[in-house]
Structure 1
Amino acid sequence: MRMYRNHVGGRGWRFDGLRTLLAKASPVRAGDQLAGVAADSAEERAVAQQTLAEVPLTDFLDDPVVPYESDEVTRLILDGHDRTAFRPVSGLTVGGFRDWLLDAGNAPGLPALAAGLTPEMVAAVSKLMRLQDLVLVASRCQVTTAFRNTIGGPGRLATRLQPNHPADHAAGISASILDGLMYGNGDAVIGINPATDNVPTVARLLHLLDEVIQTYAIPTQGCVLTHVTTTLQAMERGAPVDLVFQSIAGTEAANRGFGIDLALLREAADAVRELGRGPVGDNAMYFETGQGSALSADAHHGVDQQTCEARAYAVARAYAPLLVNTVVGFIGPEYLYDGKQIIRAGLEDHFCGKLLGLPMGCDICYTNHAEADQDDMDLLLTALGNAGCTFIMGIPGSDDIMLNYQSTSFHDARYLRQLLGVRPAPEFERWLAEVGIEAGDGALMPAARLPRVFRHIAVDH
C-alpha cells in the first residue's frame, strides 16, 4: 500500500493508500459519511482531490482497493485489463487524464480506450470533474447494443416501459403496457418487477410479455426482473426468456449477498444466448446497480460507495449486456441524502459506465423519505439527456405503485425527444409509424386516430 502525502496551508496531509485517498476525495454523500470513510472537512476533501490529481494511472494497477486474493471482482478487473488499449493514457496522472478526456480531439479514441481502463481509474477522474465535465465527456461515448432492435445509436434515446402491478395482475400490467406504447415508450425493454418472485409467476409474466410482443410484432424485448436463478429455472421449463436480469455490485461479498457469483452470471449469459431469440443481436443480459449496495450489505471493504459502484460496471461489461442502469435514488437518503447528491451520483454513474464501454441508462428516481422532489429529477433528466444517456424509465404517472418510489413518466421521454431531437430505437420508430402511434415527424397521433389493433390488449388478459 502506497502513502500519498501533500503539504497545503502549512499543514502536512497523509492518505494511506488509494482506498483512503479515493474516499476522502469523493464529493459529499451520506453513505460515505455513514461508513466513516468520508473527508472530515471541505479542506480535507479539497486536499485529497488535489493529491489524487497527481496520482499516476498506473498506480491503480498496482494498489487494488479490494485485495486481489480475496475478491473475484478485483481479479476480473486486473486479469482482464488490456494494456494495449491502455497505452494512449498510460503515462498520465488522474488530473492529466481529466484534461485528456476534455480535449475534443481525443474523443474518437474513447471506444477503443474502454478495455484499457479500470473502474477505479474512471471513478478517480470523475471525482475531479464538475457536472458539466461529466456531461460533456459522456456525450462523446457512444455504445451500441442489439437484440430485437438496436439500442444506443447516434441521436437515439430508448425507454424501459415499466408496467409493475402490486398483485402481478395481468390486466393491470397490460393496461400499463398499452399506455406506455401509446406514448412511444418501450424500445429498450418492457420490464416487469414481479411482486411475487417464484417460477410459476415469473413464467406467467414472461408468457404475457411474449404474447404482446409477438402478437403485435413489436421490435422490442421483454424481461421479468427476477433473480437470475429463477430465470434459469423458467428457461428450463420452456418459458420465453429474452433477457436475463440481475442486480449486481462491485465486490464479491456484496454479490454473494445478492445470491450470485461470476460463474452463475456466465452460466445465465450462455444459456440465454443459446435460445437465439434476438434477430438483430445477441446482447441478452440486463443489469441494475446502485450506489450504496455494497455498504448496505456490509461488503464495501472501506471503499467509498461511488468507487464500489464503478466496480460493478466491470462485472457488467464481462457479459456484453444489452442494458445497464443505475437505479440512482432508489436505495434511499441513508446513501444519497438529497436531490443534490442524487443528481451528482446519477451523472457520475452514467459517465463511469459509458467510459467503461457500457450501454448505460439511469432510473432517475427518489424515495418518498429523501430530501428530493420532481424538480430535482427534471434537472437530472435534462442533464442525462444532454449526456447521451442510453435509456430512461417510463412509468405511469412517474409513480411506481408496486415499488413505491418516484421515477420518470411516459411523458418525460417525450419531453427529452422533443427538446433534443432524439428518437427511439430505429426499428421501434418504424413500428410506431407503421401502426399509427407516431406521425412521420415523431409527433403523437390524435387520440381519436390511435390504432384499433390494440383494442383488446388489456381486456384479453
Structure 2
Amino acid sequence: MSRFRATIGPHTFVFGHLVEVLAKASPARSGDQLAGCAADTDAERAAAQQVLADIPLTAFLNEPVVDPDEDEVTRLILESHDVEAFAPVASFTVGELRDWLLATAVAPDAARRLTAVSPGLTPEMVAAVSKIMRNQDLIAVAAAAQVTSAFRTTIGLPGRMGTRLQPNHPTDDPRGVTAAILDGLLLGAGDAVIGINPASDSPRATADLLCLVDEIRQRYEIPTQSCVLAHVTTTIDLIEAGAPVDLVFQSIAGTQAANAGFGVDLAILREGLDAARSLGRGTVGDQVMYLETGQGSALSADAHLGVGGHPVDQQTLEARAYGVARALDPFLVNTVVGFIGPEYLYDGKQIIRAGLEDHFCGKLLGLQMGVDVCYTNHAEADQDDMDTLLTLLGVAGVGFVITVPGADDVMLGYQSLSFHDALYARNVLGLRPAPEFEQWLETRGLVGSDGHLIHVDPESSPLRMLGASA
C-alpha cells in the first residue's frame, strides 16, 4: 500500500512517489500540464497538498527527486546541507514548517531566525512548503526575510528596492544604448546594475559594450555596476584580455542536464566566480555573480526528469536552480518569470503566482532575490497583471526589478517594466534606491532628501551634465 494517499470526499487518491506528490500539489500551470505531471483535477491537487503537508522534511534528504549518481546539482544540494542550521526544524513536516514560517514572520527577530535556518533548508523543502501556502503567506514570509548583497551598491536593505537598468538595442548601437542609459539614470534606475543583453554573441561586441558602460560610469562617478550578459566562458576570456568586467553573468537551471544545455557546469561557474573576484573591482563588497533563472527552463531543454524517469514539476526544478546560485555567493539573482512563454506560464494569474513563489523560495534559501516582471506578447497577460505583480513584490521586499525604456524590450521582444513603473512602486510603497546610488542621485539634483525624484526640466543642469557628451 502506498504511503502517499489521501481521501477527498468520496474519492481516494494514491500517489506513487515523492516526485509525483510534489508535481500534483503544485498550483495549476501550463508547463506541468505540458510535462504530463500536473494534477488532473482540483480535488487531486488538494489531495496531493494534504499528503505533502504530512511529509517529514527529512524525506527530502533521504529521497532525492533527481538521482545524485547522475546529477551534480543534487550532489551539491546534499553535500552543502547544513545539519546544525537544520536542527531547529528537523522534526517538522512540510505543514509544520509552514506554520513555523508564518509564526516566525511576525516575531520581533524574524529576520535573524529566518537567516539562521536558511542553510539547513534544501530547495526541495522550500519548494514543497511554498505549494501549500497562499499568496499572502509567500509575501508575509518573504517580507520578513532580509538578504543583502554588495559590490559598489548594497542591494536588499529594508525599505529599498533596486532596479536593473536594461538598455538593450537590436543592433547594439552605442548611441541607442547610451540614450537608454541616460533615460534610466534620469528616472532613478540603475542602482542594482546597468545590464545589457547583447544582440551579438561576438566577444568583440561584448567588449565594446563593457567599455561603453564603464566609460559612462567612470565619467559621471556613478556608484553602480555594469554587466553585459554574455556567456560565462566569453566573459572569462574577456577578463583575461583585460576588459572592464564588474559582474559575471550566466543563466542557470535546476538539473545538470539543463545546465549542460546552457553550456555550463558547476566547475565553469566557479571559474567565472574566481576570475571576477580576482579583479577586486567592488568597493562595498565582493559578490560578483549575476545569475538568471526561470520556471520552465529545464522542461524546455528536455532536462526535467527525476528519479525513475518521472517528470519533476517546473517550480521544484526552479528552486533547485537557487541551490546552484547559493553555492556561488551571487550579487544578483533574478527569475525572468514570464519570459519563456505561455507554454510554461499560461496567463497573468500563473505568472503572478510563479513570481511570488520564486521570490519567496530564493529569499528563504538566502539569496538576494530580484524578479523580471514580464510576459511575452502571446501570453494571456497584460500590463495590468504586471502592475499587480510589481506591487505585490514591492510589499514582499523584492531586492530589485528589471526596467527598460517604455516597458517594451525592443531587442528581446517581450514586455517588462518601465523606469516609470519602478518610480510608481517606490513612491506608493515608500521604497528608496540603494543608499550609495541614492546619494549620487541627490548630489546630481535628481532626487530630494526624501528619495523621491525631482522633476527634471529638459534644460536643467542634471540633463546637460549627463547628456551633453553622451
Which residue pairs with 1:363 in the alignment?
Answer: 372
Is this contact kept in 1: 2:57–2:90, CA < 8 A?
yes
Identify unmatched segments of 5+ residues in structure 2: 306-310
- Letter matched to residue 40 of structure 2: D
Return closer, same or farther for 1:338/1:194 CA change in 2, 3 Å cut-off: same
Is this contact kept in 2: 1:212–1:457, CA < 8 A?
no
Alignment of 1:210-249 (within 5 A): 210-249=214-253
Which residue pairs with 2:308 in the alignment?
Answer: none
1:305 aligns with 2:314: yes
The CA deviation string for residues 330-384 of structure 1, in whole angstroms up to 9 with x for no partner, is 0000000000000000000000000000010000000000000000000000000
Is this contact kept in 2: 1:245–1:287, CA < 8 A?
yes
Is this contact kept in 2: 1:246–1:288, CA < 8 A?
yes
Is this contact kept in 1: 2:445–2:462, CA < 8 A?
no
In the aligned structure 2, how far is the partner of 1:43 from the partner of 1:448?
A: 58
Is this contact kept in 2: 1:437–1:450, CA < 8 A?
no
Which residue pairs with 1:273 in the alignment?
Answer: 277
Which residue pairs with 1:254 in the alignment?
Answer: 258
In the aligned structure 2, how far is the partner of 1:311 from the partner of 1:444?
A: 39
Deviation at 1:457, TM superposition (A): 5.4
Q: Once superposed, what is the RMSD of the aligned Cα atoms?
A: 1.4
Which residue of 155, 158, 164 maps to 2:159?
155
Is this contact kept in 2: 1:175–1:457, CA < 8 A?
no
In the aligned structure 1, how far is the partner of 2:16 from the partner of 2:211?
A: 54
Return closer, same or farther for 1:17/1:197 CA change in 2, 3 Å cut-off: same
* TM-score relative to the length of structure 1: 0.98
The CA deviation string for residues 253-278 of structure 1, in whole angstroms up to 9 with x for no partner, is 00000000000000000010000000
State the SS of the aligned residue for 1:275: coil
Which residue of 132, 140, 144 maps to 2:148?
144
In the aligned structure 2, how far is the partner of 1:166 from the partner of 1:61?
A: 46
In the aligned structure 2, how far is the partner of 1:20 from the partner of 1:292?
A: 17
Which residue pairs with 1:88 in the alignment?
Answer: 88
Between 1:448-457 and 1:217-226, the stretch displaced more is 448-457
Deviation at 1:3, TM superposition (A): 4.3
In the aligned structure 1, how far is the partner of 2:436 from the partner of 2:452?
A: 17
In the aligned structure 2, how far is the partner of 1:193 from the partner of 1:346?
A: 21
Which residue pairs with 1:326 in the alignment?
Answer: 335
In the aligned structure 2, how far is the partner of 1:446 from the partner of 1:378?
A: 23
- Letter matched to residue 307 of structure 1: T
Which residue pairs with 2:293 in the alignment?
Answer: 289
Runs of 4+ more than 4 Å apart = 456-461
In the aligned structure 1, how far is the partner of 2:459 from the partner of 2:399?
A: 28
Deviation at 1:443, TM superposition (A): 3.0
Is this contact kept in 2: 1:56–1:94, CA < 8 A?
yes
Deviation at 1:100, TM superposition (A): 0.4
1:413 aligns with 2:437: no
Identify unmatched segments of 5+ residues in structure 1: none
Which residue pairs with 1:442 in the alignment?
Answer: 451
In the aligned structure 2, how far is the partner of 1:459 from the partner of 1:294?
A: 46
Identity %: 65
1:398 aligns with 2:402: no
Which residue pairs with 2:62 in the alignment?
Answer: 62
In the aligned structure 2, how far is the partner of 1:439 from the partner of 1:329?
A: 34
State the SS of the aligned residue for 1:246: strand
Is this contact kept in 2: 1:180–1:186, CA < 8 A?
yes
* TM-score relative to the length of structure 2: 0.96
Which residue pairs with 1:12 in the alignment?
Answer: 12
Alignment of 1:124-203 (within 5 A): 124-203=128-207
Count of residue pairs brought into register by the alignment: 460
Which residue pairs with 2:439 in the alignment?
Answer: 430
Which residue of 396, 402, 406 maps to 1:387?
396
Deviation at 1:450, TM superposition (A): 6.8
- Letter matched to residue 403 of structure 1: L
